[in-house]
Structure 1
Amino acid sequence: MSHKQFKSDGNIVAPYLLGLARSNPGLTVIEHDRVVFRTASAPGAGSPPKVTLVSGGGSGHEPTHAGFVGEGALDAIAAGAIFASPSTKQIFSAIKAVESPKGTLIIVKNYTGDIIHFGLAAERAKAAGMNIELVAVGDDVSVGKKKGSLVGRRGLGATVLVHKIAGAAAAHGLELAEVAKVAQSVVDNSATIAVSLDHCTVPGHKMENILGAGEYEIGMGIHNEPGTQKCSPLPSIPEVVEKMLPLVLGEDEDRAFVKFEPSDDVVLMVNNMGGMSNLEIGYATEVVSEHLIKKYHIVPKRTISGTFITALNGPGFGITLMNASKAGSDIIKFFDYPTTASGWNQTYHNSRDWDVLAEGKVPTAPPLKHLKNHKRCGVKADYDTFAKILKAGIARINEVEPKVTWYDTIAGDGDCGTTLVSGGEALSKAIDEHSLRLEDGALGIEDIAYIVEDSMGGTSGGLYSIYLSALAKGIRESGDSQLTANTFKKASKSALDALYKYTRARPGFRTLIDALEPFVKTLNAGEGPRAAAKAAYDGAEKTKKMDALVGRASYVSKEEMSKLDDEGGLPDPGAVGLAALLDALVTAAGY
């Protein structure tokens, strides 16, 4: 796992706030105090008065806090240095920026520094005659009731839900005490547990306290503090979710802060701590959802997934559950209320839009069925011979896969060998199931083309499928009554011409074409299949001395490409794989 970072003197918070406002009209920055406020909420801005919401805390948790300033959410925030509370002066500046005759609710995470500074700012605002309420968010369940009895729960993912739901309550015109009650109710009925593979890197600081290569921590906070459970070896996401859900659901009585029943309206949030890919977070969301539904019979009423509150680039995620049934009758309505806050990265949906998910099933549709061509071509083939030749090609692909994958790891994205194997596995299954129409020359190859397209994917899958489809057309138009090497010879040239309509790759460009064209040319020169296979092999070998002009390899540095110079150079993996396949097919056909 990389912990490299761009050089930094650590002074990036104020420029971040300016960049946020530059890309979000309606925000104003008090640069000196590192305050962001909603322009429409400022005194004298002309908007009808409402309860205003002020939050903030240490930076490094983006998009929280500044990303939640917007209509229907927060009105102002004060940003401290990374993982450090803002000063009382900064917080008071944020409160003054959105002072309202209806009062202000301060939302703060339950950490000692934040409670002290935000509490002092609240008292100063009250002394100045302002109407102020403060709600502290504590939703972490990693520390049990006994150990955390004095300090309470840390503020984690539920902070985001409080920002959003209390902000909507204020937008609906509720009074300060009512908005505060809504916020506190969200806190009291929320539970969060987080997991991370490592600690985050702080800009401008040396990485410290790195976990071992096989270790991870459950109960991670958002300030680089250790988790409560150090575990090993590294788990899959389903495995770690199995460990996390009992904690967040309160199966351990010492962590039973919130009870959840199948009949409750539950909100699920799966939060990226900053260092996971969108793909992984989406996967984790589905894993958590399926576990909740199948094992606990809890169907979330609302589900949100994404990056909401982070620990900089922390490589982990958190699960937050809120019992909306216990939190109040309007909680779901406030959750659904639209907001302009950029950090709430969920598309607006009204309550009816969610009805389709009420039973816990995601809407799905059957795959598009291939409309197979059932018109026989008249070019007969021997099923058993055709199947034997295919199986030989598949066996050779499996044999060369490690080498092809290794080449592609250096020169591409590392999937060339496994892609070929995937195509071979799908074809093997079809042969075993006798679902290929191999007794007909054209229909058999059309079936192979469909399977290759479905199972291989990527650029190579597309190229193989185009060539095979055009090859089937050439065989259909050959006029032959029996599928022979001569039939393939005639069809191979027209298939290559068809392929060239869809790719710029040509011999010399370091692609599979460097093996395919020599094969086709040699075959059509009348030199026979064995010579054609040898030409394909020679073509693949020549790629060792070529510069990549197209494909992913064209982006790879010459230094990387030179790793195999002592072996004559690095060949193109696609060309190597195709040459091996063609050699196996020709050999199995008896040439």
Structure 2
Amino acid sequence: MSHKQSMSHKQFKSDGNIVAQYLFGLARSNPGLTVIKHDRVIFRTASAPDSGNAPKVTLVSGGGSGHEPTHAGFVGEGALDAAAAGAIFASPSTKQIFSALKAVESPKGTLIIVKNYTGDIIHFGLAAERAKAAGMNIELVAVGDDVSVGKSKGSLVGRRGLGATALVHKIAGAAASHGLDLSEVAKVAQSVVDNSVTINASLDHCSVPGHKSENILGEDEYEIGMGIHNESGTQKSSPLPSIPELVAQLLPLLLGVDEDRSYVKFDSKDDVVLMVNNMGGMSNLELGYATEVISEKLIEKYHIIPKRTITGAFVTALNGPGFGITLLNASKAGSHIIQYFDYPTTASGWNQTYHAAEDWKVLADGKVPTAPSIETVKNKKSSGVTADYDTFAKILLAGIARINEVEPKVTWYDTIAGDGDCGTTLVSGGKALTEAIENHSLRLDDAARGIEDVAHIVEDSMGGTSGGLYSIYLSALAKGVDDSGDKKLTVETFKEASQFALEALYKYTRARPGYRTLIDALQPFVETLNAGKGPRAAAQAAIEGAEKTRKMDALVGRASYVAKEELSKLDGEGGLPDPGAIGLAALLDGLVGAAGY
């Protein structure tokens, strides 16, 4: 599937007036915040001049909206005291900023933190001068951490403010909470800026609510050096990379391999903070994977073990489908930087659970604590029901081969009726069983123990609902064979055990014949076998049962949530069948055929 087909740019309708309502929603879910609706300002109620609390240096930030949780989400104890929210990707006005400054005016002074963009610098700078003229004690620090533009090209405008903005909010906020005076808090903020580097990369540009999507990149293109306002990056490339391939391109830019981008030096002895920032459109799964890839590469190739690692959405570009890597050299920034990083905050944007410095020591050597897998408890006692090892293995392999044959069609059915993994899940189970057979790790000379071993492998390798159902049935089937008292596995033994297993399965699923699930293949198989009609007739009954699901309404399982319009896509084929039933019928057909029936 192409990048354009797989990535959605659909949005809810919007009149563009969502920023003020966002601030109200933020305050509603974070007690202790006050909103000035007209000026789109949010501030800590406890930081207001009339709050009665002991004064401290206050921190004010803001900028265009669309980068949430920055800036409003960083208003909280131990971080910002107020933020002014402009329209999407547009700087707040000087009046808005001045309103934020007055809301948290302090006799100890106020530090303004602003990202290094022309509009922000002008408006926040003007507000700072007006505040000074009104007698307020104000200092301003501009955040610039982007390394996508080299020193020669960016010498006049400086670096753009990206992910390090969140680190400045958090660390400078902690410094202010420790009672430092304004010049000292400003020095801490500036030291974080001076010792931070960030690079962003994205699969596409973001979508602005209420505006038509600007999909600038081609289907197979990605961009390095992407900004946070839909501005272009410095390098477009194709084809789309894996995350490890992309990380291998990004880290040299951060670590100064290119002298023109060598803004901060890093040494293996330095205390380094790693932030992996979601630009808004990455799944948590992929972001967590990227974090581990980045960490491993830093440790293995560059011998840098991050002292602190944080991951999540901190400075976004609306729904930008990409991520940024920020490195802060805390050793060069100052002796208390890590302490301020660790200091707790109530700001919702700092979405990291509080951990004391002691808690991080377990990661000091760069290794994540691991534990061995719990060994599966197996019944070591022989069941007494023998089987021919080679014949058992041949039958299993034949069933696996049939699964592999039908996988593409089963997967296609499941993309419509489920989540698209039914076929691949079956193949995963088959692959694991094949390896076990090749390694002679299945006890196939003992019928009950062999089936029990298959059940364990299926559970480990398949996962999901189908893996659980298969494992329950096979475990009960093994018990049925074990309790048979027979000396050898026969059709009669299997017949009675299969009925026992089906009844056991019914204890754990509401699915019954006619509900459009794999039961529609399994139940006819078991019923026909127990009617004495033989394995071949039973396999045929399973196939016919699976085919009947084309005309059934889904009552349970994932397909029960799918619109009938989707389920009608294969009407020309007689209807869309249940993929699990089709897969199971193929498996049973393969097993029976290899057994000589």
1:118 aligns with 2:102: no
Aligned to 1:236: 242
Q: CA deviation at 1:189?
A: 0.1
Partner amino acid, structure 1, of 2:525: F
2:334 and 2:17 mapped to 1: Cα distance? 42
Deviates more, 1:298-307 or 1:3-12: 3-12
Q: CA deviation at 1:410?
A: 1.1
Aligned to 1:69: 75
Aligned to 2:371: 365
Partner amino acid, structure 1, of 2:400: I
1:350-389 per-position Cα deviation (integer Å, ceiling 9, x unaligned): 0000000000000111111101100111101110110010
Identity %, equivalent residues: 84
1:273 and 1:323 mapped to 2: Cα distance? 22
Aligned to 1:21: 27
Aligned CA-pair RMSD? 0.6
Q: CA deviation at 1:502?
A: 0.1
1:528 to 519, 526, 534: 534
1:322 aligns with 2:333: no
1:446 and 1:289 mapped to 2: Cα distance? 40
1:256 aligns with 2:262: yes
2:426 and 2:490 mapped to 1: Cα distance? 25
Partner amino acid, structure 2, of 1:67: G
1:435-478 per-position Cα deviation (integer Å, ceiling 9, x unaligned): 00001111000000000000000000000000000000000111
Q: CA deviation at 1:47?
A: 1.3
1:475-532 per-position Cα deviation (integer Å, ceiling 9, x unaligned): 0111110011111001010100000000000000000000000000000011110110
2:432 to 400, 417, 426: 426
Partner amino acid, structure 1, of 2:37: E
2:228 and 2:369 mapped to 1: Cα distance? 35
1:303 to 282, 288, 309: 309
1:142 aligns with 2:139: no
1:558 to 544, 548, 564: 564
2:249 and 2:423 mapped to 1: Cα distance? 35
SS of corresponding position for 1:560: helix
SS of corresponding position for 2:87: strand
2:51 to 45, 56, 59: 45
1:381 and 1:580 mapped to 2: Cα distance? 23
Aligned to 2:90: 84
1:550-584 per-position Cα deviation (integer Å, ceiling 9, x unaligned): 11111111111001111111111100111111011
Aligned to 1:2: 8
1:317 and 1:546 mapped to 2: Cα distance? 44
1:184-240 per-position Cα deviation (integer Å, ceiling 9, x unaligned): 000000000000110111011111242100111100000000000011111111110
1:435 to 417, 420, 441: 441
1:303-327 per-position Cα deviation (integer Å, ceiling 9, x unaligned): 0000001010000000000000000
SS of corresponding position for 2:157: coil
Partner amino acid, structure 1, of 2:548: K
Aligned to 1:160: 166
1:488 aligns with 2:500: no
1:513 aligns with 2:513: no
Describe the shift of the 1:243–1:369 C-alpha distance in structure 2 as closer, same or farther (beyond 3 A): same
Aligned to 1:352: 358
SS of corresponding position for 2:59: strand
Question: After the TM superposition, which segments of 4 or more aligned residues of structure 1 sit over 2 Å from their partners?
Answer: none
2:483 to 470, 474, 477: 477
SS of corresponding position for 1:442: helix
1:220 to 226, 232, 235: 226
1:401 and 1:275 mapped to 2: Cα distance? 31
1:391 and 1:284 mapped to 2: Cα distance? 37
Partner amino acid, structure 2, of 1:358: A
1:49 and 1:567 mapped to 2: Cα distance? 75
2:203 and 2:447 mapped to 1: Cα distance? 53
Partner amino acid, structure 1, of 2:579: P
Q: CA deviation at 1:9?
A: 1.2
1:171 to 173, 177, 181: 177
2:506 to 492, 496, 500: 500
Deviates more, 1:201-210 or 1:426-435: 201-210
SS of corresponding position for 1:74: coil
SS of corresponding position for 2:481: helix
When the two structures are superposed, what TM-score results if normalisation uses the length of structure 1?
Answer: 1.00
1:42 and 1:135 mapped to 2: Cα distance? 22
Partner amino acid, structure 2, of 1:205: H
1:276 aligns with 2:287: no
1:33 to 39, 48, 51: 39
1:194 to 200, 223, 226: 200
Partner amino acid, structure 2, of 1:581: L
1:107-145 per-position Cα deviation (integer Å, ceiling 9, x unaligned): 000000000000011111111111110000000000000
1:579 and 1:223 mapped to 2: Cα distance? 53
Aligned to 2:189: 183
1:246 to 240, 249, 252: 252
Q: CA deviation at 1:46?
A: 1.5
SS of corresponding position for 1:32: coil
Partner amino acid, structure 2, of 1:235: P
SS of corresponding position for 2:298: helix
1:408 to 404, 408, 414: 414
1:444 aligns with 2:444: no
1:412 and 1:99 mapped to 2: Cα distance? 56
Aligned to 1:98: 104
Aligned to 1:130: 136
Aligned length: 591
2:384 to 378, 383, 390: 378
SS of corresponding position for 1:221: coil
SS of corresponding position for 2:251: helix
Structure 2 stretches of 5 or more lacking a match? 1-6
Partner amino acid, structure 2, of 1:566: G
Aligned to 1:453: 459
2:595 and 2:336 mapped to 1: Cα distance? 73
SS of corresponding position for 1:403: helix
SS of corresponding position for 1:152: coil
Partner amino acid, structure 2, of 1:311: A
When the two structures are superposed, what TM-score results if normalisation uses the length of structure 2?
Answer: 0.99
2:240 and 2:270 mapped to 1: Cα distance? 33
1:60 and 1:582 mapped to 2: Cα distance? 54
1:250 and 1:33 mapped to 2: Cα distance? 42
Q: CA deviation at 1:418?
A: 0.4
1:286 to 270, 289, 292: 292
2:591 and 2:220 mapped to 1: Cα distance? 44
